[in-house]
Structure formats: C-alpha cells, structure tokens
Amino acid sequence: MLMRLHNRRGFTLIELMIVVVIIGILAALAIPKFIKVTGKAKVSEAKTILKEIFTLEKAYFNEHDCYRTFADGASCDAIGFDLPEGTSRFQYKVESTDTTANFTAQATEAVDVDGSGSTTGYLTMDQDGGTGGGNGLTW
C-alpha cells in the first residue's frame, strides 16, 4: 500500500504555485501592451473618418466655393457625411472662421479610447490636410 502512494505521479503544490506566478508575470507584461494596441486601433476610426470629411469638404468646395460646417454629433447631408453606424467612440464636427478659405474637422473622444482615464483627447485635420491632436491623442 505504501509503495503504491510513492509511485503516484503528479504535481506538487510548489510546482503549481510556480506556474501560477509565471503566468501572472507574463500577464502583467502583456496587458499594458494590449491596451495600447487596442487604443491605437480605436483612434484609427477617427483618422479614417476625418480623412473622409476632408475629401467630402474638398469636393463640396469645388462645387460651391465654400466649406460647410456642422456641430458635434451631427451628420451633414450637404457634403454627404453620415455618422458611423452604431455607437461611435468620437464626436465629429467641422468649424470655420471663414468658410470660403478654411475649415478644421475635429474628432473628440466620446469615450476613453487610449486608456488615459479622460475623454478630452482630440484629432484635427484642416483644409490643407494638416493634422493635429491633443490631450494624449496624436496622428
């Protein structure tokens, strides 16, 4: 009987604890990198839509010799811009000090996309294709 217990194969508690510690260390290293990567993917949504707004504004300008403005969370049928389907992570608007000369399209965080804990980040694109950002978001 005693001989049978000694021949049993299995893992000791120490071995299992070591495996758990190793998994914990790997997770601690991987999770912050995963959050950064998902944040970049979320920001790419805003970049794509700002480029779309830029193209639509340029086409509208070629026909009407002025740019169109619209407020946060609004579509702009005049230029053909519709808000993305579903829940957007950003609010989009176009502002202008002189609609015959310039515009600035802006995407402002509606939810925390970069893991910073705030929703004040924004990306911009102007009539010349110049880009900018602030409060943690960059092109």
Evaluate whether residue 8 is within a structural domain: no
Give me the pLDDT at residue 130, please: 85
Q: What is the pLDDT along the chain (139 residues), one digit of tens a residue?
A: 555 656 667 888 999 999 999 999 999 998 888 888 888 888 888 899 999 999 999 999 999 888 888 887 767 787 888 877 877 888 888 988 887 888 999 998 887 776 777 778 889 998 888 888 887 777 7
User: Rounded CA gap, 124 and 139, in Å?
Assistant: 9
Find the Cα–Cα–Cα–Cα dihedral 33, 87, 117, 41, rounded to 10°. Answer: 20
Evaluate whether residue 94 is within a structural domain: yes
Evaluate whether residue 6 is within a structural domain: no
Evaluate whether residue 7 is within a structural domain: no
pTM: 0.71
Task: Provide the number of structural domains found in the chain.
Answer: 1
Q: CB-hemisphere CA count at 13 Å for 121?
A: 22
Domain of residue 95 covers: 14-134
Evaluate whether residue 69 is within a structural domain: yes
User: Rounded CA gap, 108 and 123, in Å?
Assistant: 7
Evaluate whether residue 123 is within a structural domain: yes
Evaluate whether residue 38 is within a structural domain: yes
Instruction: Give the H/E segment covering residue 60.
Output: helix 13-64
